[in-house]
Amino acid sequence: MQENNTVLIIGGSSLFGKYLSPMLLNSGKRVIVASPDESEYEYSDALEGFTGSHEGMEWAYMNVLEPQSIKDVLEEFRPGVIFDCAVQNSVGYAWKDPAATVDINVTGAINLFEAVRNMEDYSPRILMAGSGEEYGRMDFDMMPISEELQPVPNNIFASSKVCQDLLANIYFRAYGMDIIILRTFNEIGPGMSVRFSVADFCRQFAECAKSGRKEFTIHTGNANIERDYTDVRDLARAFLAVSEKGRAGEIYNAGAGRAVPISHVIDILSDITGIKAVIRSEPSRMRPVDTPKFEADIAKIEQDTGWKPEYELKDTIKDMYALYA
């Protein structure tokens, strides 16, 4: 890994990027965030209360599907660490537009690897944002899921990420590139898009509270599936920890290490608000194929970096709800 105080976050307007940038700034790094549109980096005062200040952050134009734009940014700043968060990470959206998902997650990764490989005297550390969805297991006896388990993806998004990981491993073995994969499990936190279920639940409860009602029907997909919900602030710390102490060529899981049903999130919101929610599962919100349970084995990242999750699920949901209340 090159000794360089400059870091680059590709896809810095993602939820990860919005929390990771202030952490890096606070550690004394020069932070460059890259995306196709600078307007994506607008932050409300309420959200900055959770993320911290982005003052000092610099923006650069980059589209991962335009190889020249990647090359231009790398040649100008030569960052010592690259965080690649330029991910189409919505499972639901991937079913609707699989081609765009593969383009961003697979072709975008190849373009980055090639741009780095073809620069002289340049060997940055690259952190790739993977996902627990990649495992896609149906066998409950394999929980918690360790990095040694062979992925059997159940959706298009997960398949694209597995392909990205395989490519990263090839570039690591063939060219000695310093690449690490961090597979995060079910990130949630303040500022999360309502395209994702937990944020949408918070929005629905807030709308009910504002109307003065004490009961409403909440619309969900499958409320019985179990997920390893992890605060995005913990996951941003995991990215930072792995960038400093992780081993090149490795895959690391980062999650809370415990799975709960989606219905449990709704129960927490009922407890926070005093509002009763009647769950109605909508066929339009169901995935064509789904995995009943995800639960991360986080022993490897704990051993190699010392990272552990800190936020309790109820505290995270309280913070998320506060942005809509």
285: in domain: yes
Side chain identity at 5, as an amino acid letter?
N
303: in domain: yes
Range of the domain at 279: 197-226+260-293+315-322
- Tell me: do 274 and 142 sit in the same domain: no
- Tell me: do 220 and 143 sit in the same domain: no
Q: Report how far residue 239's alpha carbon sits from residue 231's, in angstroms, rounded to the nearest whole number.
A: 13
Question: DSSP letter at 28?
Answer: T
Question: DSSP letter at 56?
Answer: T
- Tell me: do 77 and 219 sit in the same domain: no
CATH number at residue 77: 3.40.50.720
- Tell me: do 134 and 57 sit in the same domain: yes
116: in domain: yes
- Tell me: do 133 and 236 sit in the same domain: yes
150: in domain: yes
249: in domain: yes
- Tell me: do 165 and 219 sit in the same domain: no
- Tell me: do 65 and 139 sit in the same domain: yes
- Tell me: do 114 and 220 sit in the same domain: no
Q: Report how far residue 171's alpha carbon sits from residue 179's, in angstroms, rounded to the nearest whole number.
A: 8
The answer to whether residues 290 and 226 touch, using CB atoms and an 8 Å cutoff, is no
Q: Per-residue pLDDT for the chain (325 aa), expressed as one digit of tens each? A: 556 899 999 988 788 889 999 999 999 999 999 988 877 777 778 888 999 998 999 999 999 999 999 999 999 999 999 999 987 767 776 777 888 888 889 999 999 999 999 999 999 999 999 999 899 866 666 789 999 999 988 888 889 999 999 999 999 999 999 999 999 999 999 999 888 889 999 999 999 999 999 999 998 878 888 999 999 999 999 999 999 999 999 999 999 999 999 999 999 999 999 999 998 887 767 666 677 888 999 999 999 999 999 999 999 999 999 999 8
| This prediction's pTM | 0.91
- Tell me: do 281 and 240 sit in the same domain: no
- Tell me: do 216 and 93 sit in the same domain: no
Q: Report how far residue 124's alpha carbon sits from residue 70's, in angstroms, rounded to the nearest whole number.
A: 14
Torsion of CA 78, 79, 82, 83, to 10 degrees: -130
H or E element, residue 316: helix 313-322
CATH number at residue 272: 3.90.25.10
Q: Report how far residue 103's alpha carbon sits from residue 116's, in angstroms, rounded to the nearest whole number.
A: 19
- Tell me: do 19 and 165 sit in the same domain: yes
1: in domain: no
Q: Which residues contact 97 (CB under 8 A, 6 or more apart)?
A: none
- Tell me: do 93 and 217 sit in the same domain: no
Q: How many domains in the chain?
A: 2
